[in-house]
Structures are given as C-alpha cells and as structure tokens.
Amino acid sequence: MRENIALAFQGIWSHKMRSVLTMLGIIIGIAAIITIVSTIQGTNEQIKENLIGAGNNVVTVQLNQNGYTYDMSWNSIPDGVRVVTDQTRQELESIDHVEKVSLYTSRNYAQQVFYKNTSFNGEMYGVDENYLSVYGYQVKSGRGFTKADYEGCRKVVLVDTNAVTSLFGGEDPVDKTVEIQGDVYTVVGVVALSEEFAPTITSMRDYQLYADTSSGAIYMPDTTWPTGYRFDEPQNVAIKVDSTDAMTTAGKAAADLLTENQIVDPDNSEFDYRSQDMLEQAQQLQKMSESTNTQLIWIASISLLVGGIGVMNIMLVSVTERTAEIGLKKAIGAKKKRILLQFLTESAVLTSLGGIIGVVSGIILAQLISSMMQIPVSISPPAIVIAVVFSTLIGVIFGMLPAIQAANLNPIEALRRD
C-alpha cells in the first residue's frame, strides 16, 4: 500500500497541471460545502444565543386559555385556577435539572403609572424573593428587596435600566417616588442583568426578532402586588435549569405539573399551563435556516459529481498512456488485484488531496465571508472529516472502472499495442 501511495504521488507530481485541473471540481465542491456548513452552524449558534441570551437557562411557564397566554390585564381571574402553593413550588424544584423556581405576576403594559407628568407604558412585575437571582439580575445602584419589604408589604419598587431612560429621563431614580394605581411607591434600586447580552443584529429581520425596544420594567414585592392590582392572581412560574439542553424537558414537566395541580375545576378544560421555551423557538428558526441551506449543499454537491467524472476520465487516459507498463507488470507475474489496487490508490489519493485542499479553501473562504459580511461561522470538525472521507470515496467509486479496465488488460495485447 505504501508503494502504491508513493507511485500515486509520483504520478500526480509528474503531471502537475493535469492533476490540478482534475482535482478542481473536487476542490470547489468540498470548499463550497465546508463554507455552507460553517455558515449554517454559525447562524444556528447565533440564533440560539440571541434568543436564549447569555446562558441564563430560564424557562417561563404561564397560564394559557385555548392555546393563548391568559392576560390578566384584560381578563378576570379564571374560576377553578388557584395560586401556586409552597408545596407545588417544592414539587417544581424537585424536577430533574431544575435549580431554582420563582413565582411572579405581571402586566405587559402598565397602566396608571406616572413619575411627575411622565407616564410609563412598560412592564410591571410582582416578584418573589427568588426572581432576581433566577433571571440573573444584580443591583446596579441603590438596594434590592429585603425580607422586611416582603413581610411589611412595603410600597417599594425596583426599575431596570430601560425604565430609567423612558420614565426618569436618565436621572438617578433611587429615592424618587412613582405613582402606581393611585398609590405612591419609592424607588429603592436599579437592576440589570449580571451578564449584559446584546444580540447580534445584521439585518432588519434580526432587528425585528431580537432588538429590545421596550420601555423597561418596574418590579415590586409580590406581597404588595394585590394592593395595586388583584388578590389571588394565578402566578407565572420561572424555572432555572442547569443546562440549556435541559430547558425543553424541564419546562414541559413543570407545565404538566402545574396543569395537574392548579386547574382544580374539571370544567376548565380550555385552561392549561404551557412553557415558553426559547430553546424550542431557536430550534424552529434553525430548521428554517437549515432547510434553505440544505438546498445549497445539494447544488454544491453537483460539482463533486462533475469532479468525480473528471477523475474517471483522467484515469482512463492514464490507463491508455500506461498500457505498456501494465502489460510489462502482468507479464512478469503481477496479479489483477495488484493492478486494480494500484489504480484505485492513485485515484483515491488524487481526490483525497483535492478534498484536503478543498477543506482548507472552505475554511479560508468561510472566514473571509464572516469578516466581510459580518456573518457568524462555526467550523465543524465532523464536517471536515466527512468531506475528506467522501472525497476519497469519490476517487474509489469513479476510479473503479479505469482500474478494472487496467486489471483486465491482456499482457500480450498491451505490449503489442505499444
């Protein structure tokens, strides 16, 4: 085998231009596939990172009616749906991969919230003591909620950095007061995510999907929430899991448990709890991206077919050129198997070399596209291995006919033909 490989390289080197032209189809095909696969993986990672963020691994579980999130802003409290108890919270925390659970109530569009003459139309949350740590918030200025705030139902709130801009005009809001539903609340702190994350936006579609254009959020202790809104509202549940890959299964398990425990009226079949799984949404967007790019891979594969035909053609030419050599080898006792293996090895080495050059070209091309068009790429080691192996198989498959023809030459006729 080593001798056959050496002879193959010798043949390639002695016909450099012909060999390069023969490998060109393989090089272009492999380079195109590596570039497309790298772009697909890079885009998929970007989608996943944009939707999930900086690894907070939080799944939200909310009450749904007929498949739509039940909005307390416009609806009354549904009969037969009770609040989440401490026992249910403990059951949620015992689900596999769940690290921490938070209960909260919310309004997507706050009403009757003012600072002086400025109204606020962002989000309003009534949160428990676990909320900030589950979502990974930290206090940027002022203080967070204390145990006394919860026990004393104090009228205090936290605001995020967006609300600082939209409601307070960028001024330090700490110790200022806001009016919420006719009551006065004191701002005690400003919070922000501990790991600030900005999604990668390269198009208007990305902007519409990922950009945060909200007016911000205001948070109050959940024990204070009923004084401004309603008592006994069914809470939303946020669960933090130990890994991104566990988000889907943990979220569905939590939703099933809440549906079983919280929907106590059998006539309320239209109600259930459902998880809003960012990982699942990311996977759906990834499939849309992959379906388009798969077509490009098939188109790029055509050049591999063309390259394989080129290899077969040049190997047939090689057999014709080396008829006397084949006849001489067979005359001195070379068996068909040896002749067959020699030509198959030469064909496989030719396409493998083309595959390796194609891989390197594909990686370089992917990096160039990434830097010029700001498209993320992720080089896939399995794709590289598969590309090289596939190019070798092309050599074996398309080199089979010329190798068989060489092995079946009659030595007398071969020597006479020369």
Residue 43 CB contacts under 8 Å (≥ 6 apart), including other chains: 286, 289, 375, 376
- pLDDT given at position 204: 44
Pair 349, 24: CB distance under 8 Å: no
Distance CA 118, CA 216 (A): 14
**Backbone dihedral angles phi then psi of residue 176, each to the nearest 5 degrees:** -85, 160
On the question of pLDDT at 24 being above 60, the answer is: yes
Residue 170: CB atoms within 10 Å = 10
Name the pLDDT band for 54 (thresholds 50, 70, 90): very low
Q: Does 400 have pLDDT greater than 60?
A: yes
pLDDT tier at 349, thresholds 50, 70, 90: confident
8 A C-beta contact, residue 41 and residue 33 = no
**Which residue would you say has higher pLDDT here, 337 or 9?**
337
- The H helix count followed by the E strand count for the chain is 14, 13
**Of 3-17, 92-106, 347-361, which has the strongest mean pLDDT?**
92-106
pLDDT exceeds cutoff 90 at 141 = yes
Please tell me whether residues 69 and 207 are part of one structural domain.
yes
Domain boundary among 248, 276, 304: 276
Of the listed ranges 74-83, 197-206, 382-391, the least confidently predicted one is 197-206
> Read out DSSP for 68-105?
EE--TTTSPPPTTBPPPPHHHHHHHHTSTTEEEEEEEE
**Can you tell me the mean pLDDT for 386-407?**
79
The total domain count for the chain is 2
User: Which of these three, 276, 296, 325, is where a domain ends?
Assistant: 276
Domain shared by 61 and 44, yes or no: no
Q: Are residues 29 and 113 in the same domain?
A: no
Bridge partner residues of 368 (DSSP): none
**Do 344 and 37 contact (CB within 8 A), yes or no?**
no
pLDDT per position as a tens digit, 122-135: 899 999 999 999 98
Please check whether residue 268 is in contact with residue 79, taking contact to mean a CB–CB distance below 8 angstroms: yes
Half-sphere exposure of 166 (CA within 13 A, CB side): 18
Asked if 37 contacts 366 with a C-beta cutoff of 8 angstroms, the reply is no
Range scoring the smallest mean pLDDT among 152-161, 176-185, 238-247: 238-247
Give the count of beta carbons closer than 10 Å to the beta carbon of residue 211. Answer: 13
Under DSSP, the state recorded for 176 is: -
For residue 53, pLDDT over 70 is answered with no
pLDDT, tens digit, for every residue of 267-286? 667 888 888 755 555 555 55
Percent of the chain with pLDDT over 70: 76
- Say whether both 31 and 64 belong to one domain: no
Which structural domain range is residue 20 located in? 2-49+285-417
Give the residue with greater pLDDT, 254 vs 283.
Answer: 254
Greater confidence (30 vs 175) lies with 175
Per-residue confidence band for 44, with pLDDT thresholds at 50, 70 and 90: low
Which two three-digit tokens encode residue 414?
Answer: 């071969």
Q: Provide the 3-class DSSP secondary structure of residue 280.
A: helix
Place of tokens 């198959």: 344
3-state helix, strand, coil split of the chain in percent (to 5) is 55, 20, 25
Cβ 130 vs Cβ 102: under 8 Å:
yes
The answer to which of 30-44, 191-205, 353-367 has the lowest mean pLDDT is: 191-205
What Cα–Cα distance (Å) separates residue 114 from each residue in 168, 266, 341? 10, 41, 84
Name residue 154's amino acid: R
* Amino acid 284: pLDDT: 54
Per-residue pLDDT band at 52 (split at 50, 70, 90): low
Instruction: Pick 74 or 60 by higher pLDDT.
Output: 60
315 with 364, same domain: the answer is yes
Of the residues 276, 293, 311, the one at which a domain ends: 276
Token look-up 């098939």 returns: 298
Condensed to tens digits (0 to 9), the pLDDT of residues 168-224 reads 998 999 999 999 998 999 999 999 987 654 444 455 444 344 444 468 899 999 999
Same domain flag for 73 and 173: yes
pLDDT of 314 over the 70 cut = yes
**Residue predicted with more confidence, 418 or 110:** 110
The reply to whether 31 and 71 lie within a common domain is no
* 216, 350: one domain: no
**Do both 67 and 82 map to the same domain?**
yes
| Span of 61-65, 272-276, 412-416 with lowest mean pLDDT | 412-416
Q: Are residues 229 and 130 in the same domain?
A: yes
Q: Say whether both 191 and 76 belong to one domain.
A: yes
Q: Which residues contact 86 (CB under 8 A, 6 or more apart)?
A: none
Cα 7 from Cα 14, distance rounded (Å)? 10
pLDDT band at 238 (very low <50, low <70, confident <90, very high): very high
- Provide mean pLDDT across the span 16-27: 81
Cα–Cα distance for residue pair 283/325, rounded to 1 Å: 58
Residue 247, pLDDT score: 81
| Nearest residue to 106 via CA among 127, 92, 76 | 127
Residues 262 and 295 in one domain: no
State the average pLDDT for the chain.
79
CA–CA distance, 121 with 117 (Å, rounded to integer): 13
**pLDDT of 40 above 70:** yes
Count the neighbouring beta carbons within 10 Å of the beta carbon of residue 81. Answer: 21
pLDDT at 210: 43
Percent of the chain with pLDDT strictly greater than 90: 23
- Nearest alpha carbon to residue 354 among 408, 411, 314: 314
Beta-carbon contacts of residue 318 (< 8 Å; ≥ 6 apart) = 11, 343, 346, 402
CB 348 within 8 A of CB 400: no
